[in-house]
Structure formats: structure tokens, C-alpha cells
Chain A
Amino acid sequence: MARRTAILSATLALCAVIGTGSSLSYNEENLPSTLNPLYAASMSDFRSQELVFDRLWFHDAVTNELKTRIVQKWEVADEGRAAKLTMMPGIKWHDGKTLSAKDVCFTVDAMLDPKTTSPVAAEYRQVLAGCEAQGNLVAKVKFTKAVHNPRERLGFAVLPEAGFTSTAISPDLDFAAHPIGTGPFKGSRGRRAVTFDVFQNEHHKPTIAQLRLNDAGDPTLAVRSIISNGTQGIIAVPPLLRPELSVSDDVALKSYDLRSWWFIAVNTSKGPLKDKRVREALNLIIDRSELRKLAIGTMTGDQNSPCEFISGPFVQSSPYYNRAVPVVERSDLKKAESLLTAAGLVKTSGTWTSGGQPVNLNVGMLASLNSEAEDLLSQIGNQLSASGFKRIDQKITQDEWNTRVKSGKATEYDLVIGKWSFGLVEEVNDLFHTRTGGEGKMNIFNYSNASVDKILQEYEAARTDTAAQDAYHRLHASLAQELPYLFLWKLDTRSAWRTEVRGNIIAPYYYFTEIDSWKYAR
């Protein structure tokens, strides 16, 4: 009997070892551009950094509660103008040193250092005023003004003081490729992949030994690869390829709450597009139902459709979404034609002309979106051509998107097709505010409207959730009238993971917040 028990125990132990010593590989949308949290710019940056660092506070993936893994206790100080944090003892950095209050204060000081050229830090400079280490574990973080919930303001990743020579942190330090965090994995950036090796800690006990992040490449190949167990996960599966995976017994499709919506930004300061009636006409020319069918493969009336139309800059489940504004699902070419005629455009031999010249629309689309909505650029172009516009289609690389489109320099385009993704806070001020004094940082065509700016300032000044919602409801209605964007849809993001990967709770936005609970047994 004892021998049988011993054999059974040994077998179970062996299974546990096999289960915990495993390495799994997954495909990301693209390789992260940096592993330094101060310079995160894309979703793959955020997701990767979540594996390496601990944020002071984060939202629980299931209950949405604010939680922390590294702060033992906290209290409000200086009448709400500071928070006193007592750090959890015994937490190790990936280089073996112990996390202390000095590291928290170093992170705050680094973000406050004007020589740290990080936009993330620039945001925090408006909230944080300084930090004082009181002993080894207590840090007093000071705010620029009294805040009613300081934990909400402390969602930044903590950086190691020993990892830097000064508080001026630039983007090209080795830390960006070989970061030191207190997170569950130690990351290392390679040429075509990023590897994350497990790091057991007081507060993290992940069971997966290694994660390997690969660049997605061709989505069809990625799907083949996961079916044949070449890789074990895909972060975002294009809708057209989902049916193939959903019939597989070895792969499970999982929802990833990314709060992304798609749009066509309109260059409101160029040619006939300056006229609101022309923008309205374009909004009526675009047949969203047809586009959805052709580019995403969803039919009208489809239950479980991954695609949900929107009429403003929020997903329908958002508290900011204004349900009083209807979506434009089908085209209305007759009405569009009368609007264009009223705007002074003349249709000659089937082509719209303005001042005797044909109206040429230069349409650009972020190239990576093609994997989610195949040929969307051509389909939109075809609808514009069919209604009498000449058009030039161009794909925009991720780099051009980051350097030119987001910064409002790509004014040669008339229309730009893109997608924005949000976390729990769906703040859209930077998309629509006039570009002045640090506002409107992602205003694609430098749209400027005084009444929209006023609404955005009201949102900024809102002190209650209701006031913020009211402001954004009005913004939604106003944008649906002004049409600096033609709003398309929210497209569900679905991940695929092999069924051998268990307990894989996917956190909204940051994805890997609950990685400790993930298990992988080959």
C-alpha cells in the first residue's frame, strides 16, 4: 500500500514538474517597440510590460476592484495631497535586489525629471509633485492637488533605482531591451522574438517556465501553427479566420476586452471636405453593413457577431456612449447625392467635380488592420468610386502611423482608416481637442472646433462620474453632427489559446495581469 502511495505521489510530482516547467510560445500583433514602461506606445508594448513589471495598483480582471501586489498598506496624508505607501517586504527585483520605498520615489522622481522624454511621464507630471522615502519601506507620494482616490492615480509601473544612473531616463537605454522589474517574468528582447523567463517572487508564483513572444506575420500561417501546436497562442485572431479555429477541439477562442473602435478620419481642412454637407454625404455613402459582410465576413442579423456598429467615439457598452445617436448602417445614396449637390459639387459623367475639377480622395489605412478586416481599404474605395469619387488607396505602415498620422503631419490624406484602443478609461480628448499647449496630441487632421473643445474641457473639469458622462454624451452627439470622423464599428478582439493552456484569465487591456494563474501542461 505504502509502495503504491509512493509511486502515485512520485507520478503526481512528475506531472506537476512537467506542468510547471513548460515553455509556451504565442504570436503578438507585432514585436514590442520597447520594454521600458515609460515609453510604451503600442498595445504589444503594454501587454509585454505587464509580464515584467508590477504597477502599484491595477484593476482586477474579474471584479474590476483596485488591487495591489506590492503595497502592504496605504493611507491618505496631507489632507489628500499625498499618499503614504508601505511596501510589501521581501519582494525581489529580477537582479536579486530588494524592492524598497526608494525605488517608488526614484520612479516618481524619474517621471518628474524634465530630461525624461517620456509622454507617459509627462502625463504623470500633472498629477505627481514628488516623493519622500521614510525608512526602507514607506514612501510618501505627493500630488499636485488633493485627490479623492489616490490609488487611481498610482497605476504606474515601479522602476528599480539601481537599474539607472540618473533620473533622466531616455528611450534608448539598454533597460528598454533588458528590463529589470518585479513582475512574474524577466524579459529579454531579441531580433525576431522576446523571451520571458519565469522569476519566482514573494508575490508572484507563475507556473509557466518561459513565454516566447513571436511577431504574428501572416495570420493564416499563425492559425496553422496553433492548430499544429507550433505555437500555443495568438493574441488577436482576425474574424475571418475564427471559424477555422472554433471548430478545432484543441484550440479555444477567448474574448479580450480591448474597447477598440474603428473609424475613418476626415481631413476637415482640405478641399470640399471642409463642407459639413460633403462629410455627411460621405457618411451616407459608406455602407457599413456591406463592408462588414465583405471585410469581416459577418452577415446582417448574425447572432454572436464580432462587429457592432457605433455612432460615436465609444463602444456601445461604454457609459459614455450616447444611445440617442443612431448608427448609420446602410447607405442612402439619394440623400448623399442631394447633400453633395447642395454643397456645390457637380456630377459630370458619373464623377463628382468641384470647381470643374474631379474630386480626388486620397484614402489611407493602417496596414496592420488588413489582417483583421481583409481588403477593407479597397472595399471603402470601391464604395466611394461607385458613388462618383476618384480615389487613391494607400496603406500606412505602423511607423508612418506613429510618426506622421498621430502627430497630424499626414495632411496629404483626405481620409484615414484606423482603430483606437482604450483601457478602462475611455478618454478621447487627445483625439478631438484643438492641437494647442499639449492638448489634441493624437488629432489626426488637426480638427479644431471651439464648441467641441468646450465640451472636452467640461469633461476634464468633471468631478463626478455623472458629469463626465454628460459631457461625453454631448461630445458624442456633437461629433456625429460635425463628422470629423465617420465612425464604423467596434470589432471584438478574440485570442486563441491551445486547450492545454488552462486558467488563462485575460485581463482587459493589459492582458497578462493574471498570468500567475495560467497553467500549461503539454
Chain B
Amino acid sequence: MKRWWLRPLVRFSAAVALPVAVPFLCVLLLWALPGDPASIICPPETCSGTEELARRWQLDQGPLHYFTSWVSGVFQGDWGNSWRVMTGLAVRPIVEESLPNTLALLGLAAVPVLAGAMVAALEMVKERVDPFLQVLGAVPGVLLALVAAAWQTLRYGPDGEPMAGLLLGAAVLGLADGVLSGSIIGTRGLFSAERKQRYTGVAILRGETVISNTLPNVAPAFIGQLRARGVQLLSGAVVIEVVLRVDGLGDLLWQATLAQDFGLVMPVVTLFALLSASLLFVQALGEVAVALHVRRSPDLGGSAR
């Protein structure tokens, strides 16, 4: 307990490093691909004179120069233009249009996950529903998304309906791939194990509530589980957006990666890294809060703790 700050510190550091490291890795990947970066982005059949393009896109002085000029551009509000997917369109408005859709998708998908965790913590879901939850969790998200996409096409035609796509996507994202079942079964397992501890029985005899006793102890693991679900939702969102044609960051990332449009890949992966980092940050904050709470509790002389 003396070094309680170490784990949150690692998480804070990772949260800070992630949005820098991920785009930098992308830059290194661009240089690792065979051929010079400018002709990967715009092949000679589409663009003659790749040296000129390399100069224009800051690709002529190595990966570090490209990365630093991209970062400084971002800080000055210039996110550049799409090179291939939507050639010529400024990246920033595209990303600004896509981010709310992804956040809405994630937010809606998080509702059943959080609700499931809550009812599981309060022991409101019985173990007999576990087989049903496990079967639901075993359904791959991509399969469920394809079924949803087929239904959407039949119902709304080939162009689909944006709101229907979003709601269906959120439902699939929240239910499939073991997100909901993992949230319920995992949380219940965590709390029921803690509930079996002797100190909980003593607390009940003292007339205290179970949850107020168990929560500080399970909180770090519980927050960790929630972060894992968050990361799962984040990665699942890419698949769901592509299949259900939701105009979000995941779909954008998919298209940009296929077309090797690094002008678009860079800001989108940075945003994904930022979302992932924010989850790490929240987890670290939670751990700090729990540690401070525990350290502020009255000292009962050692044996009771």
C-alpha cells in the first residue's frame, strides 16, 4: 500500500504517451512500406512528379520531420486535407462531422453495459440467466451487424436511414461479442467474491450495508473491467460503423487505411488514441480516489484491516 500511487502514475503516463505514440507509429509504418511515401500516397499513374508532392506533403525529410510538422500543423488548427479518400476535403470538418456519430454510438452502446454492471453489482440478475447471456455474448458482432444491415436495407433501401443505423449499431455493439454478458457476469463475480469475505459478514452484523463495505475494495478492479469494456466498444465501433454505414470515425479509419490516405489516418488514429487514453485517465483517477478514500478511513488498530 505504500506505493499506491505507482499504478495510477503508470496509467497517467500511458494516457499521455498514447496519443503521441500511436500516430508516430503510423508514420513509421508509412516509411516501412515498400516504395517511397509520396508514391504510396499518390502513385505515378495519378500524380506525376512525386518529388514535388513529397516536398509539399513534408515527406521529403524523413519520418521525424513529417511527424513534427504534422503535430505543429494540428496545434495551429491545420489538420491538412484528405489525400485519397475524399481528395481535397479538409480533414478537420470531416473529423468534426464524424466524431459526434462515433460518440453517440459508443454512448448508446455503453447504456446497457453500465446498466448491466449496476444491476449485477446489486445482485439483481440471477445466475440462472447466465447461459442465455453467454449465448448472446458468443454471437460475433460482425455477424449481428450484417443481419442488422440486411434488415436496414430491406426496410429503408440501399441508402439506409442514418438514425436507424446508429440505433441498430449501438444495440449490436452493446450486446454482441460478450460486452453485455461480460459486464454482468464479470461484475457479479467480482462483488460476490468480495461479499463472501469475513469482514463483509462482520459489517452486516454491525448493521452496515454490503455495498458500502465491498465497493472500496472492488472499485479498482471494477473500474479496470469497465475500461476493458470501453476499449472493447471502441474497437467494435469500427466494425459496426463499416457494416452499418454509420458516418463515424471508425468507418473513416477503415476507408482511409484501405486507400492509404495517411492525411486522414493520422488524425483519426490520434482521436481513437485520445479516446482510449481518456479511459486510462479515468481509470487512474478512480484508483487515486479509492486510494485516498481508503487512506482517509479511520485506523482501527490494524487487525480489522
Contacts and interface: CB of A to CB of B under 8 A. Distances in A.
Contacts of B260: 399, 403
Contacts of B47: 39, 117-119, 171
Interface stretch (B85-93, B125-133, B273-281): B85-93
Contacts of A41: 45-46
A177 B81 CA distance: 10
A441 interface: yes
Contact of B153 (A117, A118, A221): A221
A522 interface: no
Interface residues of A, number: 45
> Which of A119, A192, A403, A406 has the largest count of B CB atoms less than 10 A from its CB?
A403
Interface in B49-94: 49-50, 52-53, 56-57, 81-84, 86-90, 94
B43 interface: yes
A403 B94 contact: no
A350 B87 CA distance: 51
A115 B47 CA distance: 11
Interface string B130-163: 0000000000000000000000010001110000
Interface string A28-56: 00000111100101000000000000000
A122 interface: yes
A170 interface: yes
B53 A117 contact: yes
A230 interface: yes
A397 interface: yes
Contact of B50 (A117, A173, A222, A224): A117
A230 B258 contact: no
Nearest to A115: B52
B247 interface: yes
Contacts of A230: 157-159
A192 B81 contact: no
Interface in A96-148: 114-119, 121-122
B40 A403 contact: yes
B44 interface: yes
B89 A174 contact: yes
B48 interface: yes
Contacts of A218: 158
Nearest to A441: B45
Interface in A321-347: none
Contacts of B236: none
B158 A221 contact: yes
Given A114-B52, A230-B157, A402 B43 contact: yes
B245 interface: yes
> Which of B46, B81, B83, B84 has the largest count of A CB atoms less than 10 A from its CB?
B46
Contacts of A172: 57, 81-83, 87-88, 263
Contact of B49 (A33, A117, A191, A214): A117
B93 to A, nearest CB: 11
> Which of B35, B47, B97, B259 has the largest count of A CB atoms less than 10 A from its CB?
B47
B42 interface: yes
Given A114-B52, A170-B56, A230-B157, A402 B46 contact: yes
A225 interface: yes
A167 interface: no
B158 A191 contact: no
A34 B157 CA distance: 27
Contact of A176 (B56, B87, B94, B259): B87
Nearest to A35: B88
Nearest to A218: B158
A423 interface: no
Contacts of A399: 84, 258-260
A115 B49 contact: yes
Contact of A171 (B40, B42, B157, B245): B42
Interface string A378-408: 0000000000000000000101001100110
B66 to A, nearest CB: 15
A119 B247 contact: no
B35 to A, nearest CB: 8
A217 B152 CA distance: 15
Contacts of B153: 221
A189 interface: yes
A122 B53 contact: no
Interface string A474-498: 0000000000000000000000000
A170 B83 CA distance: 10
Contacts of B245: 192
B158 A119 contact: no
A178 interface: yes
Contacts of A208: none
> Which of A170, A177, A192 has the largest count of B CB atoms less than 10 A from its CB?
A170
A228 B158 CA distance: 12
Interface string B179-202: 000000000000000000000000
B68 to A, nearest CB: 20
Contacts of A191: 86, 94, 97, 247
Contact of B88 (A119, A178, A217, A403): A178
A407 B49 contact: no
A422 interface: no
A442 interface: yes
Interface in A432-487: 441-442
B87 A177 contact: yes
A266 B47 CA distance: 26
A33 B88 contact: no
Contacts of A74: none
A122 B48 contact: yes
11 contacts: A36-B87, A171-B87, A172-B83, A172-B87, A173-B81, A176-B87, A189-B86, A192-B247, A221-B153, A402-B46, A403-B43
The 7 closest A-B pairs by CB, nearest first: A176-B88, A177-B88, A117-B49, A221-B158, A403-B43, A117-B47, A177-B89
Interface of B: 35, 40, 42-50, 52-53, 56-57, 81-84, 86-90, 94, 97, 153, 157-159, 245, 247, 258-260, 263
Given A119-B44, A399-B260, 11 more contacts: A39-B47, A117-B50, A171-B42, A177-B87, A189-B88, A191-B94, A192-B247, A225-B157, A228-B157, A402-B45, A407-B43
